[in-house]
Amino acid sequence: MRIGVLGAGQLGRMLALAGYPLAKTFVFYDMSGSPSAGLGEVIIDREGKYLDDFLSRVDRVTYEFEHLPVEVAEKLAKEKPVHPCPRALQVCQNREAEKTLFGELGIPTPDWKIADSAESLKAAAEELGCPVVAKSITEGYDGKGQAVLKSPDEAEAGWESIGHPRVIVEKFVNFHREVSIIAVRAEDGDVAFYPMAENTHHEGILRYSIAPAPGLAKHVQEDAERYIKALLNELNYVGVLTLELFETSEGLVANEMAPRVHNSGHWSIEGAMTSQFENHIRAVSGHPLGNVDARGLSCMINIIGEHGDIDRILELPYAHVHLYNKGERPGRKLGHVNILADSYEELVWRVRNCAQFLPGSPEFKSSLTAKG
């Protein structure tokens, strides 16, 4: 089976690496002009001239990131199966549509308002009560296109810094920690849920993911599964879906969803019986889903900006290095390391031991270290 992937970055690369043992071949369709997949066949098409050529070379189509033209996915879907469905792309590209859908499905969200000017942003901040987070309705990821307002007086500066005609203004959530759940749905409607991960961000970028999330009450995992299953069924979704959440004293509050394999699921490559990447390929190819149980305890460390001392990390018997074949640049995701352990205490020590070889890695802080 020939699988077409819209986008040609590291997620596409890891999808292909998981798909080759299942005898899949891959064609990447890159609209950015700077593909980094480094394998498979890559069609670079900034002008949209070679879409029919791409279509002729593939049996099924998926995508590795959500910031691509919905009309391209819709056009392809008229000719070949496209998983996940273009509607999932449409929802994820518009924070207003996303929050509205969450509300319709009974998924808790922060209180929110829409603003289309500095004045209406100020009014929203006053009505919701500061602090609030203002985010561009479209685009924006890894903390881009956002501003935190500690006072309504900061509205004008926040509006200027975001630079979008419409923003969603959300009441700041007082949370214990950030978590995510990753699920996969097959063509026949079968659904599997990975153990939830606890995520630590620094300057808007994910730095550490621990899975299974430590100290997670059973009902919290069940709530997350109920929320994401509602999304999967509503969208008639096929493939991997991610739901980012805040854990609060009142329960889970949804932040956003991603219609794809996700950075907070990279731990699953060594840490789960079947990785998120293999399960996505299984799903979009029409195969049965694989076992999603954790093999033990894992922590994923992102490699950001510079590679650091990779050889020292390769010497660590519990570390698994994944490099994306990218050049160094501040803030750029260059790879990740998966750390495995038999206990959370051992995991903390191993993560800290590995992180010392990655320049610029923030101190490892989590619910595990907070207790120390």
Binding site for ATP, by residue number, is 95, 135, 140-146, 170-173, 178, 201, 255-256
Omega of the bond prior to 195 within 30 degrees of 0, cis?
no
Radius of gyration of the chain (CA): 20
Q: Report the alpha-carbon distance of residue 281 to residue 1 in Å, rounded.
A: 11
Which residues touch 166 (CB under 8 Å, ≥6 apart)?
96, 114, 115, 116, 136, 137
Phi, psi values for residue 39, rounded to 5°: -155, 175
Residues tagged in the binding site annotation: 95, 135, 140-146, 170-173, 178, 201, 255-256
Q: Report the alpha-carbon distance of residue 25 to residue 4 in Å, rounded.
A: 9
**Crossing angle of the two packed helices 118-128 and 155-162, in degrees rounded to 10:** 120
Q: State the alpha helices, DSSP H only, in 263-325.
A: 268-271, 276-285, 310-314
Give the tokens for residue 241.
């879906």
